């Protein structure tokens, strides 16, 4: 299973020692990471010994799985050159850079867009090849660079014929408008059908076919700012959809590129929205403290710039992170501030189009999740009732998530029948959309119900959920 033999790989041996991972332990971690991506790997301690002592280089995605496995143990990204595998396929590094130069930023984003289609043609999906695990520390450099300089001085570009086939595109506002319309359509489909719906999956294709040629074209500074903003919106959406379908590695790369494009657009509120999305991902993955940092980065640069509704959403995201970190006073303060900002919002405010989903219903839903994490079921029930008071077909996934949170609150309040009733409704909604995140919420509810497994209602709920869980097994 190894394609090349060199001298002993001392770098790999040294990093394994630093991480405290045995040969058998590394083999097991690599096999497990591969299995999560649909790969059947059978490495053992002898395989690892060959990598270290004889310098053998494993094939395919294995070098990147090795880096990911070690990175998980060390708590930081591990580049291939650090473990002596720099000559492996560099594709998994694509999308993680946050270049200072605008031209390099265009190349970084378009390289990611193009790579996605290449993976689809190869079969199995690009993110099976881009096998590095989510590492919250990868957000540190993008966030700090954005805070220091949230806008580039100029983005005007004159393309050369050598950059593409035929004459370079001359980009105009009509081209940008098409991207914005695509983003709006994708937002609606995502909310209604989930990130895994086939219509939502057209976003990466749109980035490759539509956005990439425009970014590589010629444009004035004015048109360029608009183009970068529209591309940033689509790229963030691609990240959000990947996040919703459980492709955390893909989401991270899209988010980083979206933030860089927002900087080129000089759109500070949009950059804050990307940082808020990063924060939600970090929080969802259990990194509450880092989620707080990312949300506060969004807030800091938007003081005096963003609308009241936008600031409310950023404070709400901060509250989610504080709650996951177990800081009840900070979460409560952030929720109070979010509600206060929301009360200041007026219908005539110039809110960005991408914030159209945010209303008091969404505030109440996230507040309920905060109190769920803080184990305050009475507060969860209060806010969940408000969040569910106006069910809508426009935000089906959100409705399903709220039902699960309501079920958890009923269970923690000792109302098993009500918990199962809400759980059944949640399973029905989850079955109508393609959202790994919603399925994970259902799975968590079933886990919480395990002590009551002999109860008929629990058994019925488990049976109803079985087809849903089987599709994501």
State whether 256 and 111 are in the same domain: yes
Banded model confidence at residue 201, pLDDT cuts 50, 70, 90: low
pLDDT of 314 reads: 98
Instruction: Tell whether the model's pLDDT for residue 120 goes beyond 50.
Output: no
Predicted TM-score of the model (pTM):
0.80
Burial class (CB within 10 angstroms; exposed 0-12, middle 13-18, buried 19+) of 27: buried
Final residue belonging to a domain, choices 67, 89, 111: 89
Q: Is the alpha carbon torsion for 229, 264, 279, 37 positive or negative?
A: positive
The answer to the question of residue 385 being in a domain is yes
Mean pLDDT for all residues in the chain: 87
pLDDT of 80 reads: 81
Banded model confidence at residue 94, pLDDT cuts 50, 70, 90: confident
Q: Please state the length of the chain.
A: 473
The answer to the question of residue 273 being in a domain is no
Final residue belonging to a domain, choices 68, 89, 110: 89
Question: Any residues with CB less than 8 A from the CB of 312 and at least 6 apart, and which?
Answer: 338, 339, 340, 341, 342, 345, 358, 363
Final residue belonging to a domain, choices 89, 121, 150: 89
Banded model confidence at residue 163, pLDDT cuts 50, 70, 90: low
State whether 368 and 435 are in the same domain: yes
Span of 133-137, 171-175, 446-450 with lowest mean pLDDT: 133-137
Q: Give the range with max mean pLDDT: 49-58, 178-187, 259-268, 341-350.
A: 259-268
The two three-digit tokens of residue 355, written as one number: 């914030």
The whole domain housing 457 covers 359-473
Rounded to whole angstroms, the Cα distance separating 259 from 274 reads: 6
User: How many of the other CB atoms lie within 10 Å of CB of 407?
Assistant: 28
| Rg of the chain (C-alpha set) | 23
Contact 220, 156 (CB under 8 A): yes
State whether 391 and 458 are in the same domain: yes
Banded model confidence at residue 89, pLDDT cuts 50, 70, 90: low
Taking residues 409-423, what's their average pLDDT?
Answer: 93
What is the tens place of the pLDDT at every residue in 318-329?
999 999 999 999
The two three-digit tokens of residue 305, written as one number: 């710039």
Taking residues 27-40, what's their average pLDDT?
Answer: 76
Contact 26, 48 (CB under 8 A): yes
Banded model confidence at residue 124, pLDDT cuts 50, 70, 90: very low
State whether 249 and 135 are in the same domain: yes
pLDDT of 398 reads: 86
**How many domains is the chain partitioned into structurally?**
3
pLDDT of 90 reads: 52
Banded model confidence at residue 198, pLDDT cuts 50, 70, 90: very low
Q: Pick the residue with more confidence: 335 or 169?
A: 335
Banded model confidence at residue 160, pLDDT cuts 50, 70, 90: confident
State whether 123 and 196 are in the same domain: yes
- Using DSSP, state whether 218 is helix, strand or coil: strand
Banded model confidence at residue 196, pLDDT cuts 50, 70, 90: low
Q: Pick the residue with more confidence: 59 or 19?
A: 19
State whether 30 and 145 are in the same domain: no
State whether 431 and 473 are in the same domain: yes
For 101, 217, 224, 262, 320, the CA distances from 220, given in Å and listed in that order, are: 17, 10, 6, 17, 40
State whether 370 and 236 are in the same domain: no
Span of 48-57, 147-156, 195-204, 370-379 with lowest mean pLDDT: 195-204
pLDDT of 39 reads: 63
Rounded to whole angstroms, the Cα distance separating 432 from 87 reads: 45
Question: Any residues with CB less than 8 A from the CB of 321 and at least 6 apart, and which?
Answer: 279, 282, 283, 288, 289, 290, 291, 292, 294, 295
State whether 107 and 153 are in the same domain: yes
Banded model confidence at residue 123, pLDDT cuts 50, 70, 90: very low
What is the tens place of the pLDDT at every residue in 212-260?
999 999 999 999 999 999 999 999 999 999 898 888 888 999 999 999 9
Taking residues 21-31, what's their average pLDDT?
Answer: 92
State whether 84 and 113 are in the same domain: no
Instruction: Tell whether the model's pLDDT for residue 3 goes beyond 60.
Output: no
Question: Looking at residue 219, what DSSP letter applies?
Answer: B
Q: What percentage of the chain reaches a pLDDT higher than 70? A: 88
Banded model confidence at residue 36, pLDDT cuts 50, 70, 90: low
Q: Give the CATH number of the domain where residue 35 resides.
A: 1.10.260
């Amino acid at each position: 299973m190894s394609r090349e033999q060199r001298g002993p790989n001392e770098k790999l041996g040294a990093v394994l020692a630093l991480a405290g991972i045995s040969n058998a332990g590394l083999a097991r971690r690599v096999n497990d990471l591969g299995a999560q991506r649909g790969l059947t790997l059978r490495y053992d301690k002898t395989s690892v010994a060959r990598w270290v002592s004889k310098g053998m280089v494993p094939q395919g995605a294995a070098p990147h799985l090795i880096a990911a496995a070690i990175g998980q143990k060390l708590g930081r990204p591990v580049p291939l050159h650090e473990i002596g595998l720099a000559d492996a396929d560099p594709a998994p590094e694509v999308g993680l850079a946050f270049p200072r130069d605008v031209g390099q930023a265009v190349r970084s984003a378009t390289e990611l867009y193009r790579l996605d289609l290449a993976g689809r043609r190869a079969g199995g999906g690009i993110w099976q090849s881009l096998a590095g695990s989510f590492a919250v520390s990868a957000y540190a450099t993008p966030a700090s660079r954005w805070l220091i300089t949230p806008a580039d001085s100029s983005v005007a570009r004159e393309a050369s014929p050598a950059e593409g086939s035929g004459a370079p595109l001359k980009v105009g506002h009509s081209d940008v408008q098409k991207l914005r319309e695509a983003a709006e359509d994708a937002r609606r489909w995502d909310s209604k059908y989930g990130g895994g719906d086939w219509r939502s999956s057209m976003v990466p294709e749109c980035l490759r076919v539509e956005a990439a040629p425009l970014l590589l074209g010629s444009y004035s500074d004015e048109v360029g700012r608009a183009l970068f903003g529209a591309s940033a919106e689509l790229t963030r959406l691609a990240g959000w959809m990947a996040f919703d379908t459980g492709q955390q590695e893909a989401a991270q790369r899209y988010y980083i590129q979206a933030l860089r494009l927002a900087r080129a657009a000089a759109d500070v509120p949009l950059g804050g929205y990307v940082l808020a999305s990063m924060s939600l991902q970090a929080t969802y993955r259990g990194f509450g403290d880092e989620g707080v940092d990312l949300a506060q980065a969004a807030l800091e640069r938007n003081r005096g710039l963003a609308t009241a509704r936008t600031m409310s959403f950023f404070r709400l995201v901060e509250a989610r992170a504080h709650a996951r970190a177990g800081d009840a006073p900070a979460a409560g303060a952030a929720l109070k501030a979010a509600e206060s900002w929301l009360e200041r919002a007026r219908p005539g405010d110039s809110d960005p189009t991408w914030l159209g989903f945010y209303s008091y219903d969404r505030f109440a839903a996230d507040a309920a999740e905060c109190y769920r994490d803080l184990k305050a079921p009475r507060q969860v029930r209060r806010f969940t009732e408000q969040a569910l008071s106006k069910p809508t077909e426009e935000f089906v996934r959100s409705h399903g998530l709220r039902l699960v949170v309501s079920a958890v609150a009923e269970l923690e309040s000792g109302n098993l029948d009500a918990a199962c009733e809400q759980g059944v409704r949640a399973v029905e909604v989850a079955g109508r959309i393609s959202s790994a995140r919603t399925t994970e919420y259902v799975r968590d509810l079933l886990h919480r119900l395990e002590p009551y497994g002999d109860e008929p209602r629990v058994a019925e709920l488990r049976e109803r959920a079985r087809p849903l869980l089987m599709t994501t097994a």
